[in-house]
A and B are shown apart, each in its own frame.
Chain A
Amino acid sequence: MSDTLGTDAAIARQSQGTPRAGGAAKSAPPASPRASVRRRGRGRVRMRLEIAVLSGPAIIMFLAFVIFPVVLAAYYGFYRWHGYGPATDWVGLNNYKLIFTDPAFQQVLWHNLLIVVLSLVIQGPIAIVLALLLNQRIRGRSVIRVLIFVPYVISEVIVGTGWSLMLQANGAVNDLLGHIGLGFLQNDWLADPKLAIWTLMGIISWKYIGFAVILMLAGLQSIPDELFEAAAIDGATYWQIQRRITLPLLGPTIRIWGFLSIIGSLQLFDLVYIIWGQYVSGTAGTSTMAIYMVAQGRDAGNFGYGSAVAVVMFLISLVVALIYQRFVLRRDLRGAVTEGEIR
């Protein structure tokens, strides 16, 4: 299915490109056919040079600052190292043994898993329903789209600062609940260990659901109208159309959103660090692997141990990503991660 959609987009883009480019091409002076033959003769070397010059800087940057650090982390992960001078205190797999036997790490791992699952379960259905609703012909659609995207555009620091002020025991949320007669719902949203993780989930959902809705809307708009028209002619009801046509065709979008959401949940850091900080997040039950890494690594001065935690996080993300791609994204990502669709 994704193939049809892809072609659809490609065709659309072509039709957009052709007229202008055609005009530009006409204005250039015609060259003799011999010139183009000659060009092809020495073209190979020239082409290689062009490839090297054009792609070299990006690849070097990418290897040096994305790939190399990860390799470096794997190296330092085997050392007890405090960040100064060469690493000499080889400890083998000891760092990793410590990580996996540390109850604190097991706790943050559990929090991360909870956040992954809850993000999918809470945001997914709500986003799909909202996207279906907003995809109808209603007025002010573009304004709506901007407004629901606002929380996503604002930085985590600002979201965290704002919400932590609002959610304090004597903050705006409790005040508002008291005013509208829901005083019994007043709570210590941030400090109560039973509640804090749900508060976090609420803030995460608030921040990221706009992105999910926009993504779903984009996916909905790439479904050809003919399908709905044909179904309507055949006498399908609104809900039948949504269930039998829209949802299956929205599948690729939902699955890609799921992927982005999972990766995002596994690396959650900013929000928790801003709202709870590394110490309180431990007692409130909201700390994540990234918080653990920063606290045990840089802040404690144990860069070897911090690197090992980074490697563990990296491997967990890699395994999750590969499993997800293998079993969920099988068809959707054929072009992105395998050579398949590159022509």
Chain B
Amino acid sequence: MSATTAGSRRPAKARIGRSDRRDRHDRPKQEWGNPVTYFIALLFIAVCVAPVLYIVVGGFRTNAQITTSPAGLPNPWVISNYTSVLTSVTFWGEFVNSLVVGLASTLGIVVLGMMVSFVLARYNFRLKGAMYTLFAAGLMFPMVIAITPLYIVIKDLGLIDNLLGIIIPQIAFGLPTTVIILVPFLRAIPKEIEEAAALDGTSRLGFFVRMVLPLSLPGVVTVGILAFIGSWNNYVLPLYILNSQKNYTLPLGVQAFSSQYSTNTAQVLAFTSLAMLPALIFFSIFQKRIVGGLTGAVKG
């Protein structure tokens, strides 16, 4: 319920009241604005999207077409590249691995991140500042820098070539972003609500479950999407941890496929575009949240 209300809001929440008023008085209907702006916007969009379209459309061509005219359009369109990828066990195996890793990592990041953010936002204790600093500092050290020692740790735990060896570090490395985004959300819940809840006999944990969770849902969704897309796209960790092809996630799969079938460009393009599709769909469904969540994070 609260998700839909929050989702329809524009990111700049504070302005809503005012701009509504202006909409009514100053702008009976939306104006079109400067054509130069549209031209530049379209140009920019073309630059952003064209390479992606090239990959998707290229998958509908044959290798002969691609060789004779690399930048041409499909003529005729063939779907055999896509169907052969979609019927291959390799693709679906890697797809399922990516999905399992993505969902488990997202769940872990959201649950653990929410718990610790709640403590940081709503409790007072001596080590709070140090705790927050610890997580904020984690933002500075992305996974690539820690990958060699991380590999050693995972190896000592016996989790090499195991999906858990990817899920667990991803949860740990996802926590800093989560904390940075969620703490302001949780802190913004007015103290009065908490006091009212306490007065009504709700414990702090009851308050957490019955008030905080629903009220911070927009932030939670943002964090969840970022976590899922991050996991879906992660390359360096699977590269280190996963050895056997049956455990590959899609990024590794794309790379393996494109080096294995390097002469079959059309099929590589089809495989690649199918691999990026889920993240793109996921993103376009929830894009408002990501932009809104970034707004919150930037305001700091």
Chain A interface (Cβ < 8 Å from any Cβ of B)? 2, 5-6, 8-18, 20-22, 24-25, 28-31, 35-36, 39, 47-48, 50-51, 54-55, 57-59, 61-62, 64-70, 72-73, 76, 83, 130, 133-134, 136-139, 142, 144-151, 153-159, 161-163, 165-166, 170-176, 179, 206, 210, 214-215, 217-219, 221-222, 224-225, 252-253, 256, 263-264, 267, 269-270, 273-274, 290, 293-294, 297-298, 303, 306-307, 309-310, 313-314, 317-318, 321, 332-333, 335-339, 342-343
Contact = CB atoms under 8 A, between A and B. Distances in A.
B18 interface: yes
A313 B125 CA distance: 34
Interface of B: 2, 6, 9-16, 18-19, 27, 30-34, 37-38, 40-41, 44-45, 47-49, 51-52, 54-55, 58, 67, 69-72, 112-113, 115-116, 118-120, 123, 125, 128-129, 131-138, 140-142, 144-153, 155, 168-169, 171-173, 175-176, 180, 184-185, 187-190, 193, 196-205, 210-211, 214-215, 229, 232-236, 240, 251-252, 254-255, 258, 265, 268-269, 272, 275-276, 279-280, 283-284, 287-288, 290-291, 294-296, 298-300
Contact of A5 (B18, B40, B299): B299
Contact of B136 (A5, A31, A174, A337): A337
A61 B168 contact: yes
Given A136-B37, A158-B276, 4 more contacts: A163-B51, A252-B298, A270-B236, A336-B300
B145 A313 contact: yes
A221 B198 CA distance: 36
Contacts of B169: 65
B254 A158 contact: yes
A147 to B, nearest CB: 5
A157 B32 contact: no
Contacts of A335: 300
Contact of B52 (A36, A48, A145, A150): A150
Contact of B48 (A21, A68, A72, A148): A148
Nearest to A305: B148
Closest 10 CB pairs of A and B: A31-B201, A339-B129, A155-B233, A12-B13, A65-B172, A69-B149, A73-B149, A13-B188, A58-B116, A221-B12
A29 B200 contact: yes
Contacts of B172: 61-62, 64-66
Contacts of B129: 338-339, 342
Taking each of B19, B119, B134, B197, which has the highest tally of chain A beta carbons within 10 Å of its own beta carbon?
Answer: B119
A336 B233 contact: no
7 contacts: A2-B300, A13-B188, A50-B123, A51-B123, A153-B229, A161-B268, A337-B133
B258 to A, nearest CB: 5
Contacts, number: 373
User: For the complex, would chain B's binding face be called helix, strand, loop or mixed by DSSP majority?
Assistant: helix
A73 B144 CA distance: 13
Given A138-B37, A166-B51, A176-B71, A310 B115 contact: no
User: For the complex, would chain A's binding face be called helix, strand, loop or mixed by DSSP majority?
Assistant: helix
B197 to A, nearest CB: 6
Taking each of B10, B70, B169, B300, which has the highest tally of chain A beta carbons within 10 Å of its own beta carbon?
Answer: B300
Contacts of B210: 24
Contact of A21 (B155, B193, B255): B193
A273 B201 CA distance: 58
B11 A221 contact: yes
B298 A215 contact: yes
Contact of A76 (B147, B149, B196, B298): B149
B265 A165 contact: yes
Contact of A35 (B115, B142, B201, B272): B201
Contacts of B58: 165, 172
